Homo-oligomer: A and B are copies of this chain.
Amino acid sequence: MTRAEFSYDFPHRRLISIADLNPLDVDILFDRAEHWLEVCRTPAKKADALRGLTQINLFFEPSTRTQASFEIAGKRLGADVVNFSAASSSTSKGETLLDTVKTLAAMNPDLLVVRHKACGAAAFVSDATGIAVVNAGDGMNEHPTQALLDAFTLTQRLGPLGGRRVLIVGDVLHSRVARSGVQLLNLLGAEVRLCAPPTLLPLDADRWGAEVFHDLDDALDGCDAVMALRLQQERMMAGYIPSLREYFHFYGLTARRLEAASPGALVLHPGPMNRGVEIDGALADDEERSLVLDQVEAGVAMRMAVLEAIGTLARKNEERRQ
Contacts and interface: CB of A to CB of B under 8 A. Distances in A.
Interface string A138-173: 000000000000000000000000000000000000
Contact of A103 (B65, B89, B103, B104): B65
A24 interface: no
A68 B272 contact: no
Interface string A43-56: 11110000111101
A93 B273 CA distance: 9
Interface residues of A, number: 61
B64 A85 contact: yes
Contact of A96 (B96, B275, B296, B315): B275
Contact of A76 (B46, B54, B297): B54
Contacts of A103: 65, 271-272, 293, 296
Nearest to A319: B43
A250 B85 CA distance: 35
B80 A75 contact: yes
A72 B272 contact: no
A187 interface: no
Contact of A72 (B107, B273, B296): B107
A213 to B, nearest CB: 26
A75 B54 CA distance: 9
A7 interface: no
Given A43-B319, A82-B72, A90-B65, A95 B297 contact: no
Contact of A106 (B96, B99, B107, B296): B296
A296 B108 CA distance: 10
A110 interface: yes
A75 B82 contact: yes
Given A54-B76, A80-B72, A106 B293 contact: yes
B68 A108 contact: no
Contacts of A88: 62, 64
Given A43-B52, A271-B90, A108 B65 contact: no
Contacts of A275: 96, 99
Contacts of A75: 54, 80, 82
Interface string A281-322: 000000000000110110110000000000000110011001
A54 B73 CA distance: 11
A157 to B, nearest CB: 15
Nearest to A294: B106
Contacts of A93: 233, 272
Contact of A64 (B84, B271, B274, B294): B84
B107 A272 contact: no
Given A68-B84, A106-B293, 15 more contacts: A42-B318, A42-B319, A54-B72, A54-B76, A56-B68, A64-B84, A64-B86, A68-B82, A75-B82, A93-B233, A94-B274, A95-B273, A99-B275, A102-B293, A108-B297
6 contacts: A40-B108, A43-B318, A54-B72, A62-B88, A68-B107, A90-B272
